[in-house]
Amino acid sequence: KSKKAASQRQLAWVFDLNKCIGCQTCSVACKVLWTEEEKPGTEQMWWMTVNTQPGRGTPRDWEKMGGGYNGSKPQLGHLPTSEEFGGGWDYNYDEVLRGGKGRSVHLTRKNDLPRATDGARWGPNWDEDEGGGEWPNPYYFYLPRLCNHCSLPACVEACPNDAMFKRKEDGLVLRDEDKCLGAQKCSQACPYKKIYFNKMRNVSQHCIGCFPRIEKGVAPACVRQCPGRAAWIGFLDDESSPVSRLINEWKVALPLHPEFGTHPNVYYVPPLAPAPLNPDGSANERDSRIPPGYLESLFGTDVHRALDTLKQELAKKRVDFLEVEKQKMHQEITDAGLDPNSAEFDTVEDAFDLQNVQAARRRLDRALKMHQGSKEQKVAEEKKPKTEEEIRADERAKVVKEWTKQDNGSPSAAGTRLFTAEQIGKMPYKEWVDAGKPRATK
């Protein structure tokens, strides 16, 4: 490790790609704070970007531009152009709406950036939400990117004027703009291509890790403003930090393109994905919609172990959640005065066996609704006045019950009656009356 790239402690970022929703809040927070238009020469700069993967990113096709190290020496790659970075653009409303040129008029570049005859050709988030895969199994995820504040920064080694350095107290990669002469060797050497050039000031510029905020104990804007709480920052040697635990203990946060050899300090929890669908529409639970080979191309071979760990922990949480939900539903059944083990609720148990809480809830609600409907119908029937026929039937049933009881107590009693209890039970009411209802005996 170079002495000028050494640090005593190292800050690191972790982005959970399962939580990032691509809202660009981090990008805008960074832009407003550091590279807003009022600062000359920064219009094109987006120190923080969130791109859709798979995608070409910004600068366009940055992964193919080279840089990093060749052995122990920094390797100069392609210097991104303004066109490859892209930039903000605005619609030429007058031409489109009032010029009468139809589809021949497209977007035009904003501010003083070079214009193309067919309008803007690229931007910081040009291929948003395009992704990859074939229907019915498309996929994409979001990838936040900023300066990696690498432990072995090729940009620091490549700078011919010693303008770049790592801060000893936190490992942030910074530059002394008074020393920078605009050689742009840092941008060529950076394999992540997150260094921009300020043409107005003739200096290179990049993410500074919000060090003025860090010095006050405040998280960088990209982390602090994240609405999905997908971003974390902390020291690698702080064992109590979630960042340290995710990276060093649980080993589920991985660097992007570790093969570049710069030891980046921005880490990512790789994305899980829904199961792909088979031709018949069923889910293929054995595979992932995101090809494992693609994730390996981004995060290296350790991504498979990290994904396995994530799946195992998720399964544990699912079991705990299922048990809690199962107890809740059983309590609802008991509160309704029903037996949770009755056949009426077997389908609820079946749904839990399939680990499908939503299905269990739907089945329970349906069963409880049916039970409630039956209960209400029964109450309504009890309150309904009886017809004359029902009153007569109750009267006859009472006699039959009484005679049956007598017959069971004294079998010889049946022989003293004109009719047996069984005959009375089958006899139509009119015939029973005609036979002499009061006559209980011969």
* Three-class SS state of 50: strand
d(C-alpha 29, C-alpha 221), whole Å: 6
Longest dimension (CA), the chain: 130
d(C-alpha 284, C-alpha 61), whole Å: 32
pLDDT of residue 116: 45
> Strands 11-16 and 266-269: what pairing?
parallel
The answer to whether 257 and 298 are in contact (CB under 8 A) is: yes
d(C-alpha 305, C-alpha 363), whole Å: 37
CA distances from 441 to 42, 404, 414, 417, 419 (A): 114, 14, 9, 4, 8
Q: What stretch(es) of the chain map to CATH 3.30.70.20?
A: 3-87+122-299
d(C-alpha 177, C-alpha 334), whole Å: 72
Residue 175, φ and ψ in degrees, nearest 5: -140, 150
DSSP string over 268-333:
EEPPP-PPPBPTTS-B-TTS-SS-HHHHHHHH-THHHHHHHHHHHHHHHHHHHHHHHHHHHHHHHH
Residue 14 burial (CB count, 10 A)? 25
Which 3-state string (H, E, C) describes 363-385? HHHHHHHHHHHHHHHHHHHHHCC
Instruction: Specify burial of residue 40 (Cβ count, 10 A radius: 0-12, 13-18, 19+).
Output: exposed
The answer to whether 50 and 143 are in contact (CB under 8 A) is: yes
Residue 107, φ and ψ in degrees, nearest 5: -70, 145
The residue behind tokens 């990512």 is 268
Residues of the chain predicted below pLDDT 50: 1, 3, 109-119, 411, 438-442
For 248-274, the pLDDT digits (tens) are 999 999 999 999 999 999 999 999 998
Angle between helices 357-383 and 302-335 (to 10 degrees): 10
Instruction: Specify burial of residue 290 (Cβ count, 10 A radius: 0-12, 13-18, 19+).
Output: buried
Region of residue 66 (left: phi > 0; alpha: psi -120 to 50; beta: else): left
Nearest to 141 by CA among 274, 47, 308, 10: 274
pTM: 0.73
| Element (DSSP H or E) covering residue 195 | strand 195-198
pLDDT of residue 430: 63
For 182-230, the pLDDT digits (tens) are 999 999 999 999 999 999 999 999 999 999 999 999 999 999 999 999 9
Q: What is the architecture, at CATH level 2, of domain 3-87+122-299?
A: 2-Layer Sandwich (3.30)
Tokens of 428: 């139509």
pLDDT of residue 415: 52
Nearest to 264 by CA among 138, 158, 166: 166
Cis peptide upstream of residue 54 (ω within 30 degrees of 0): yes
Half-sphere exposure (CA, 13 Å, Cβ side) for 93? Answer: 1
Residue 209, φ and ψ in degrees, nearest 5: 65, 20
Angle between helices 292-299 and 302-335 (to 10 degrees): 120
